[in-house]
Every structure is written in C-alpha cells, then in structure tokens.
Structure 1
C-alpha cells in the first residue's frame, strides 16, 4: 500500500507538470529545450498546486478546467490515445477517435485528481539530457524527491514542425503509461470492439475512475 501511495503521488506530480501549466507558457515552450521545459513546468506547477486549495481538495471540475485550457500546448494527446488503443485506432471512425480521446482524458484526470491532494513538499530533479542537437524525439529523465526514496519519472517528447516540444508518453517507476493502458484496452477491443471500449471507459468515468 505504501508503494502504491508513492506511485500515485509521483504520478500526480507528473500529471500536473504535463497538463496544468499556465496558459502563458505555450509560446515560451516553442523556444525551450525539452529538459528546460520539463524543469520549468514542474517547478511552477508544483507551486501552483500547493497554493490552490481547490486542486488540493480533489476538485475534479477545477482540474478539468485547467487541463482543457492547457493540454494541447504541451501534450500530443491524440498520439498518446492512438498508442494506447493500438491497431484498433486506425480502423476507428473520426467520431470514435474523438470519443476515445475524450474518455481517455477524463479517465486520466479522474485518476490523478485524488492524487493531487498528496502533493506537498516534493521537488523535481531533471537529469542531464542525452540528445543530439537535431533530435526530434527525446527522453527527459527526472526524479521526484520528497519523503522516502527518489521516484523515477521520465517523459517522452517529440518536436513539432513549429519547434515546440510535446509530451506523448511518460514512465513512473519503470512503467510506461501508454504500454499499461494498451494491454487493458486490447482486451476490451478484442471482446467488444471499439464501441465496447468507449462504453467501458465512459462507465468507468461515470463511476469516478475506479
């Protein structure tokens, strides 16, 4: 149980860093190195979460508002959802893809809403970036420092044509988020198809993400 709480707290920090940045950061992000972007977002968002009583109380509406306002500048959510759904994504209609993205986003928001209440004295250490100047796909490795041992927290980012970096996957304690959901979603798709997966996600979200 303790390890699970540690995992959730680290995931909450990641979710905040990836999604809950300030709106003014979008322009600056296009001119920053990927490790600099992660470092700045992590620091500023941790401070914002500590100072926002609504988020710390687990206010899903407040968190959702922040995600909706800031997710696109910092995350390639379409790529993340497509990777999690797997081969079935290519056969899905545009309407099904839109529903999958919406339900998957709600699932992640609800998953991390409760965890954000645990953010307190954590800090982020960004490890040296191992990438060449022309690389367009990089791994940014970080550690969450707080109570107990440091927690590994890694980001995969891609460089867009306009020069901005977007997150499309992340790793907490050696587990990649997209890989975890891909295996779960594949079982549902194999049993009930894409519409069955959408229905399962919707039901899970209505039940509070459990």
Structure 2
C-alpha cells in the first residue's frame, strides 16, 4: 500500500494544471503539463513548497465531491447535506495529508511520463500514462476525468490497476457498517488530527 500511495501521490503533480488549457483534449492537457510539473518538482526540494504548490495547482483540478461520493458508495444517499460536506472535507484533507507525508518521505519526480490518447467518449474519459523513474519499474497511472463546465476534472486516479476511489470505498464501507456515517466522519477527523465537537 505504501508503494501504491507513493506512486499515486508522486504522480498527482502530473495532473497539476489539467484544466488550465480548457479547450484542449484531456490527453493534450496531461501531455502539455508533464514537462512543466516535472520541472517544478526537480527545482523545489523543500516539502513545504511542494505541498503548497500541490494545494494551489493540483487540488483545484480534482472533483472532490464526486470522488467522495464514489468512495462512500451507496451510503452517500443516506448522508445528510451536512454529513456530505463533512465527508468531502475529511476526504480532501486526508488526501492532502497523505500527499504531504509522501513528499516529506522523499517522493522523487519521474524522469519521463508517456501519455497515451484519451479513451472514452463524450464527457467521461481515461488518460493512460506510464511513469518512468531511474532504477525503478515503470508505473502505469490512469487518470479518469469528466467534463465539468468548460474544463476537465479528475475524479479518480488508478495506479497499477488499483483505483484510489475503490481503495477507500472498501475501508469506508467497513467503517460505515461498524459505526454509521457519523462514525466514518469521526475516523476521518481523527486521521486528520481534527478534534471532534
């Protein structure tokens, strides 16, 4: 799981400005940003700088509402508006904290990223990439994007055929079965270092 998270979180920078050139196709967007993002990672070794860059450049291009809904699964329908908001904030914070920890532990930038043409049609596509790093096996990373407004938003990242959303869905379902939606919110708050009221 640690290897999966490191590969995933290191690759999130690849999608950093996916929506910046909104008239482009999703694969062209990914391809055009790879060099820029890799340059940022190579020039900035300070973890705080990298985390700040991620919060400013990466996070705005992820659809956390949809990611959270997919991760919570069928239980989403049972959640109140307030619970949904808490779940989304908790999940977003969990991902940022996990990313921060990976950066602090020395995630290295890719040497090269191959981007394939988008697969799918209409408003929902997958952009397949392969991340190459010196002395390490290549890692396939797929970005699932949906058209939202006039741009594209990432709603799932799949590393080595393991979906971020599905990985969390299993643990979220188990927690909801044990202690309900409020129990999951409490667990997210504990993991994120937030004191419950």
Instruction: Tell me the TM-score normalised to structure 2 length.
Output: 0.85
The residue aligned with 2:178 is 191
- What is the CA–CA distance in structure 2 between the aligned matches of 1:68 and 1:196, rounded to whole Å? 30
Gaps of 5+ in 2: none
User: Residues 92 and 121 from structure 1, CA distance in 2 versus in 1: closer, same or farther, beyond 3 angstroms?
Assistant: closer
3-state secondary structure, aligned to 2:136: coil
The residue aligned with 2:73 is 86
- What is the CA distance between 1:128 and its match in structure 2? 3.0
Instruction: Tell me the TM-score normalised to structure 1 length.
Output: 0.80
> Does 2:59 correspond to 1:67?
no
- What is the CA–CA distance in structure 1 between the aligned matches of 2:109 and 2:53, rounded to whole Å? 22
Equivalent of residue 108 in structure 2, options 119, 124, 141: 119
- What is the CA distance between 1:129 and its match in structure 2? 2.9
Preserved contact between residue 29 and residue 165 of structure 1 (Cα < 8 Å)? no
Preserved contact between residue 137 and residue 157 of structure 1 (Cα < 8 Å)? yes
Equivalent of residue 200 in structure 1, options 156, 162, 187: 187
- What is the CA–CA distance in structure 2 between the aligned matches of 1:44 and 1:172, rounded to whole Å? 21
> Does 2:29 correspond to 1:40?
no
- What is the CA distance between 1:70 and its match in structure 2? 5.0
Gaps of 5+ in 1: none
